[in-house]
């Protein structure tokens, strides 16, 4: 019944729209033509098909923009403190203790109470071993006299021989990054090697060369009195500790060199060859850093 009424209503509307006179039927309700929408079309209930344009938010200044975080879940507070202190390894147990006296090279030398600069001057003139023959520059070491950390490597490479400065090649750049990562900028660290002249073809220094040169290192450490010594690589570790033990067995211990804590780790050049050693090295240098804090 309702359908029939609607058909009538449309029919009457169409007539009205075409200008025809309205039909008057007894008993039927006529809808005035001037208000056709009194009979709703089905589509009248459908929202306008042309959507309103989306509201344009005013552009946000870049500094206000939230920065996406890849690792932090919402609501999680960032960890406080420097990066090197996060998940820090504990201080390992005590290792070897070295109490030997300074070498005879300096025992009757007028420079016994010398400064680091005076020792460096001796090194530049040194002919105690065959490594002097091919050197362009001796590399005594560098760093402030009040450095809390002393880094000891093996010997100069080509770049060091060329410049007269320690750890300036690729391995040196990595060392600089490592030191920066533990908040000890390179400029605050004393850096030197076991031998002060470059072995040919970057070979490992021979024992007689080490024996001839190590008194300079001993004297530098004696003058410097650092809070911590970081021996990087097997040659530095073996020489300072007077042992033939492997680097792996010397790691993760706090040795003592004439009263100064000594930590052993990989040489940066070794890290360039084997990135798997970066993690243990990162732990070792953070142990050394903790010891610096404890002693400084």
Nearer to ligand SF4, 20 or 109 (CB): 109
CA distance 56 to 50: 17
Q: Show the binding pattern over residues 117-156: x = contacts ligand SF4 (CB under 6 A), - = does not.
A: ------x--xxxx-xx-----x------------------
- Residue 118 Cβ, how far from ligand SF4 at the closest point, in Å? 14
Q: Select from 17-25, 62-70, 189-197, 264-272 the region that touches ligand SF4 (CB under 6 A).
A: 189-197
Residue 195 binding ligand SF4, by CB under 6 A:
yes
Nearer to ligand SF4, 196 or 289 (CB): 196
- Residue 89 Cβ, how far from ligand SF4 at the closest point, in Å? 35
Residue 219 binding ligand SF4, by CB under 6 A:
no
Nearer to ligand SF4, 121 or 270 (CB): 121
Residue 212 binding ligand SF4, by CB under 6 A:
yes
- The count of residues interacting with ligand SF4 (CB under 6 A) is 14
Q: Which of 182, 161, 142, 158 has the alpha carbon at shortest distance from 290? A: 182
Residue 213 binding ligand SF4, by CB under 6 A:
yes
Q: Give 35's DSSP letter.
A: -
71 burial class (0-12, 13-18, 19+ CB within 10 angstroms)?
exposed
- Residue 103 Cβ, how far from ligand SF4 at the closest point, in Å? 11
- Residue 128 Cβ, how far from ligand SF4 at the closest point, in Å? 4
Q: Which residue in the set 116, 154, 166, 196 belongs to the binding site for ligand SF4 (CB under 6 A)?
A: 196
- Residue 156 Cβ, how far from ligand SF4 at the closest point, in Å? 9
Q: Show the binding pattern over residues 50-89: x = contacts ligand SF4 (CB under 6 A), - = does not.
A: ----------------------------------------
- Residue 136 Cβ, how far from ligand SF4 at the closest point, in Å? 12
Q: Which two tokens stand for residue 260?
A: 């100064």
DSSP conformation letters of 232-283: ESHHHHHHHHT----HHHHSSSEEEETTEEEEEE--HHHHHH-GGGHHHHHH
Nearer to ligand SF4, 127 or 207 (CB): 127
Report the run of H or E that residue 230 belongs to, with start and end. strand 228-232
Nearer to ligand SF4, 119 or 271 (CB): 119
Give 103's contacts (C-beta < 8 A, 6+ positions apart).
214, 215, 218, 219
CA distance 222 to 150: 11
Q: Select from 80-88, 111-119, 158-166, 207-215 the region that touches ligand SF4 (CB under 6 A).
A: 207-215
85 burial class (0-12, 13-18, 19+ CB within 10 angstroms)?
middle
- Report the SS3 class of residue 12: helix
- Residue 198 Cβ, how far from ligand SF4 at the closest point, in Å? 8
Residues in contact with ligand SF4 by CB under 6 A are 123, 126-129, 131-132, 138, 195-197, 209, 212-213
């Amino acid at each position: 019944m309702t359908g029939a009424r609607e058909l009538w209503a449309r029919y009457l509307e169409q007539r009205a729209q075409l200008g025809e006179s309205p039909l008057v039927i007894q008993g039927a309700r006529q809808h005035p033509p001037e208000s056709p929408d009194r009979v709703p079309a089905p589509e009248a209930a459908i929202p306008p098909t042309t959507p309103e344009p989306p509201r344009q938010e005013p552009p946000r200044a870049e500094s206000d923009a939230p920065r996406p975080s890849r690792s932090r879940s919402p609501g999680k507070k960032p960890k406080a403190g420097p990066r090197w202190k996060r998940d820090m390894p504990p201080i390992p147990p005590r290792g070897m203790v070295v109490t030997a006296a300074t070498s005879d090279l300096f025992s009757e030398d007028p420079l016994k109470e010398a400064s680091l600069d005076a020792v460096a001057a001796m090194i530049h003139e040194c002919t105690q071993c065959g490594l002097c023959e091919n050197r362009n520059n001796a590399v005594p070491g560098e760093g402030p006299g009040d450095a809390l950390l002393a880094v000891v490597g093996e010997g100069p490479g080509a770049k060091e021989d060329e410049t007269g400065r320690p750890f300036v090649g690729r391995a040196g750049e990595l060392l600089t990054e490592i030191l920066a990562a533990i908040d000890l900028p390179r400029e605050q660290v004393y850096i030197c090697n076991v031998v002060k002249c470059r072995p040919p073809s970057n070979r490992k220094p021979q024992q007689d060369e080490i024996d001839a040169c190590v008194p300079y290192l001993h004297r530098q450490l004696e003058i410097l009195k650092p809070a911590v010594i970081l021996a990087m690589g097997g040659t530095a570790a073996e020489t300072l500790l007077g042992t033939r033990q492997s680097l792996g067995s010397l790691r993760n211990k706090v040795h003592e060199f004439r009263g100064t804590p000594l930590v052993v780790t990989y040489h940066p050049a070794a890290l360039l060859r084997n990135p798997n050693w970066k993690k243990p090295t990162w732990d070792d240098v953070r142990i050394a850093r903790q010891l610096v804090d404890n002693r400084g």
